[in-house]
Structure 1
Amino acid sequence: MPEAADEPKLAGRRRLPLLLTIAAVLFGLDLLTKCLAVALIEPGESVPIIGDFARFTLVRNPGAAFSMATGMTWLLTLIAVAVVIGVIRIGRTLRSLWWAIGLGMVLGGALGNLVDRFFRSPGPLQGHVVDFVAIGWWPVFNVADSAIVCGAILLVALTVFGFEPDGTRSGRKNTSEESA
């Protein structure tokens, strides 16, 4: 019977590598696509993909989503650093597959935009994020932004439906007690 008791611990140990793998893949994809966008698209140029609905447009964004807080680039950088540290700390105790996926997406996206903040002009903590995907009326974004938004949506859904980071489901015991 000791083997069965050890199973949740073993499963929990496997979640941080998954989280880090997802983050690394998304970070690499974001970095690659940004390098290609900078090399192949002229600023102000719009390259149609699906008519006028989907296009590539190179934009340097000093702010957050929707170009908010453009004068607070240094603060956005510090927030991104805090997010990276927080996700890694949570990831160390993670047992849920879905939480690992969601947090991996957020981590990969945060790292992608953080690299821009540190290494792109006009300088460290002030760098502008490279955005290049334009869909319909939606503001221009990048792979990192997509990963952060999709990961956050997944984490909110997990929370709403009671799935905990430790792999348990809240409220389940109460529901079964009431029906019994």
Structure 2
Amino acid sequence: MSDDRPPEESQADTADPANPTTPSPSPAPRRLPVLLALAAVVLGLDLLTKTLAVAHLTPGDPVPIIGDFARLSLVRNPGAAFSMATGMTWLLTLVAVAVVIGVIRIGRTMRSLWWAIGLGLVLGGALGNLVDRLFRAPGPLQGHVVDFVAIGWWPVFNVADSAIVCGAISLVVLTLFGFEPNGTRVGRGEQDSASEGSAT
């Protein structure tokens, strides 16, 4: 049996792995620092705006911004985002803790920039409301979240609520279009991962 092979194939088999003639694209970098940095920005902005709202707003005395459509109205919310599940404060606190842990675990190996942004918004918002539940009255695990933005008929909300909703919507869109947390895209494999890595 002849062992003759085309020169290109023989060279590919015997090439030095440390110095390949056509190196494979390097994977995109891990995005945990981006995720944590964005979460820290959201958390800081949420805490700052809540502190200002508590200091300058009075419950039941809304401040109009655009007539009656947009106004600042201080509300202490024992429930979830947009005043839902108001009788389950302790359970919502535990859910928030689970969300924080889950996001950080996913973020440790994540390579998609867009997933990092979406999860960073969710993590920052979850931490913002979690701080209220742990440290505000009436006590740990029972703390009421400070809401102060009222738009039209929409329930009063805060920066953390907005970040959670925007982050969740972005993650749904990414999933629908096949973008994976590892930087690849369903049906395209490593191509998108390599593109994202070269973009940075």
TM-score, normalized by the shorter chain, greater than 0.5 = yes
Letter in 2 for 1:12: P
Is 1:39 the equivalent of 2:55?
yes
Counterpart in 2 of 1:12? 29
- Deviates further, 60-69 or 81-90: 60-69
Is 1:122 the equivalent of 2:138?
yes
| TM-score normalized with structure 1 length | 0.90
Is 1:159 the equivalent of 2:162?
no
- Deviates further, 86-95 or 60-69: 60-69
Larger radius of gyration: 2
Letter in 2 for 1:110: A
How far apart, CA to CA, are the structure 1 residues paired with 2:96 and 2:112? 23
More helix by share: 1
| TM-score normalized with structure 2 length | 0.81
Shift of residue 101 of structure 1?
A: 0.1
Counterpart in 2 of 1:176? none
How far apart, CA to CA, are the structure 2 residues paired with 1:4 and 1:37? 56
Shift of residue 172 of structure 1?
A: 3.3
Percent of matched pairs sharing the same residue: 82
How far apart, CA to CA, are the structure 2 residues paired with 1:121 and 1:5? 56
Checking the alignment, whether the CA contact within 8 Å between 2:83 and 2:156 is kept in structure 1 is no
Letter in 1 for 2:79: G
Letter in 2 for 1:91: G
1:40-89 residue CA offsets vs partner (Å, 9 max, x unmatched)? 00111110111111100000000113322211100000000000000000
Checking the alignment, whether the CA contact within 8 Å between 2:82 and 2:161 is kept in structure 1 is no
Checking the alignment, whether the CA contact within 8 Å between 1:12 and 1:93 is kept in structure 2 is no
How far apart, CA to CA, are the structure 1 residues paired with 2:132 and 2:122? 16
Aligned residue pairs: how many?
170
